[in-house]
Structure 1
Amino acid sequence: MVELPARVREDALKRMRRIEGQARGVQRMIEEGRDCHEILHQLSAIRSAVYQTSLLLARGYAVECLHDPRGKRSPEEMINELVDMLAKMS
């Protein structure tokens, strides 16, 4: 397993906390019976934030994976693992 650099991990956690806050906000909007258009707009923002966080993590993972100093896996294994991960994001 490849460990992410601290800066990537911190950025991802900050983004996830923001996403969590957005999700709680949508929950309140639903409980309050807010307009569907407003709710869908917020859900779209959450989806975009999750996607951007996924890209951040994928990029960090790719950099660490392709610079594996331990050399425990072949380049082919690392590339296959990265491609599998990217395929799951789409």
Structure 2
Amino acid sequence: MAGYTDSKQDHAMRLRRVEGQIRGLQRMVEEDKYCIDILTQVSAATSALRSFSLSLLEEHLAHCVAEATLKGGPEAEAKVKEASDAIARLVRS
């Protein structure tokens, strides 16, 4: 079971909202909207994705990583490294 299973519907709803924001951006470009207005909406969509990512990461740490660390050994080390790499990717983006 994935760490986000309990929040799956909430996550799906948040992603649908982001999808709507992206479609809105496409419409704005097609309708030749003002550049700054488009950039404002890009910022909003980026923020929504970042918020989603942090929520998913928090659940991963609380479930998958915590469970692996209780077991210990190579699996625990791998999960911690995996989470650390994911955090690094989020920070760079």
- Coarse TM-score class (shorter-chain normalised): 0.7 to 0.9
CA distance in 2, matches of 1:39, 1:31: 11
- TM-score of the aligned structures, taking structure 2 as reference length: 0.82
Note the aligned Cα RMSD (angstroms): 2.2
- TM-score of the aligned structures, taking structure 1 as reference length: 0.85
Counting matched residue pairs gives 89
User: Alignment identity in percent?
Assistant: 34
Higher relative contact order (CA 8 A, sep 6+): 1
Within-5 A mapping of 1:4-43: 4-43=3-42
More helix by share: 2
Task: Mark the runs of 5 or more structure 1 residues left unpaired by the alignment.
Answer: none
Task: Mark the runs of 5 or more structure 2 residues left unpaired by the alignment.
Answer: none
CA distance in 2, matches of 1:5, 1:13: 11
Q: In 2, are the aligned partners of 1:15 and 1:53 still within 8 Å (CA)? A: yes
